[in-house]
Amino acid sequence: MWQRLINNFLNRLVKTALWFYFSEIKVKGKWKDYKDVPIIIVANHQNALLDPLLIATFINLKPYFLSRASVFKNPIIAKIMAFIRMVPVFRIRDGFGSISGNKTSFSFCETVLKNQGKILVFPEGSHSLRRQVRPLSKGFTRIVSVALLNDPEMDLKILPIGINYQAHQKSGSKVLLDIGEPISAKQYIGQEKTLLRKVEKQLQSLTLHLPEDNYNNALKTLLRSNKDITTCRWENKTSTLSAVDKSKKSHPKWKNWLFKTLHFPLWLLWRSIKPNIKDTVFYGTVKFCLGLVGTPIYCLFVFCFIYSFTPLSTALICIFLMLLGLKINRNWYNQNEEGLI
């Protein structure tokens, strides 16, 4: 009971923080119909920790998350990870001897699915800022095979979700979770490669999957077009790569500067931390976590400071303005993305 209560509290806390962090979060497609069905959720992986947090909070299917086993090395951390529904997965790069540990993890996943539970998998195996669906690993198909081998009548579904960011590393930007049609796993018993290709094509249709041979030019055109990249798909080549839409103005810069002014100490702290982050994909994750922990502390400090000199109403108005500054912050796209490709 305690685990459920704490996880529900964390879910609401993170969901609220994500609502402030992004200017807009949209969910397209159905998911509520699958609450009582065993589901393996598969999604593209572009933005480190923000990807599973968005799916866990805005698509409330309460999944278990498959995560790389290296983060479970510390016993205390391992207990915390298990408490928040994380399941370790060993990769070849972790050493061939460690692969046997997947038997325990896959067996646990099978038990979850038997009880109509949900498993969240990022089958690309790693994260990347490139706006492409990278080749999928076979890990999730093995979970499917094990589950159906022991229970061929299980109504196991694979639910593809495309995560689409307007700007991966920018707060105040938009994100779209595009949910596809569920795939019946029973139709692909003994056909792992076919299932893998099916899921890969689904994810490509749910995201902006730019072609390798024209990637740089296509991305450059999109970034300069003022289009909502979260809704662009390569299937619509003509509309996607059309001329710049001059009728759509970019967001006023004063909204971004208001946010930085009201939260200047946190912004300054971020600027000092940023050079020490080796993997640029983690920029968004670190920025979000800094806000999740730092914003309440900073707001409390400001409230206490102002309240010591002014009436309660004045202190509350100041906190309201600070929170408003968070919400109206706007970033249309990542201006440096062209340099990251």
Q: Which two tokens mark 90?
A: 């060993």
Q: Which two tokens mark 285?
A: 């994750």
Distance from C-alpha of 160 to C-alpha of 201, rounded to nearest angstrom: 10
Under CATH, domain 2-212 is a member of which superfamily?
Answer: Glycerol-3-phosphate (1)-acyltransferase (3.40.1130.10)
Cα dist from 195 to 18, 44, 157, 160, whole Å: 33, 16, 12, 12
Q: What is the pLDDT along the chain (341 residues), one digit of tens a residue?
A: 777 788 888 889 999 999 999 999 999 999 988 888 999 999 999 888 899 999 999 998 999 988 877 767 777 777 777 787 888 877 666 554 456 667 788 888 888 999 999 999 999 888 888 899 999 988 888 889 888 888 888 899 999 999 999 988 888 899 999 999 999 998 888 888 999 999 999 999 999 999 888 888 888 888 777 788 899 887 655 444 544 454 444 556 767 788 888 999 999 999 999 999 988 889 999 999 999 999 999 999 999 999 999 999 999 999 999 999 999 888 776 555 654 44
Q: What is the pLDDT of residue 92?
A: 61
Instruction: Kindly report the pTM of this predicted structure.
Output: 0.89
**Residues with Cβ < 8 Å from 119, sequence gap 6 or more?**
39, 40, 41, 63, 64, 66, 87, 109, 112, 113, 140, 143
**In the chain, ranges of CATH 3.40.1130.10 domains:** 2-212
Amino acid at 235: E
Q: What is the pLDDT of residue 340?
A: 44
Amino acid at 276: N
Q: What is the pLDDT of residue 58?
A: 95
Does residue 195 contact residue 138 with C-beta atoms inside 8 Å? no
Q: Pairing mode, if any, of strands 118-121 and 157-165?
A: unpaired
* Residue 297 neighbours by CB distance under 10 Å: 10
Give the dihedral sign, CA 265/266/271/276.
Answer: positive
Cα dist from 59 to 29, 87, 177, 201, whole Å: 10, 19, 9, 22
Q: Which two tokens mark 94?
A: 């972790």
* Element holding 14 (H helix, E strand): helix 2-21
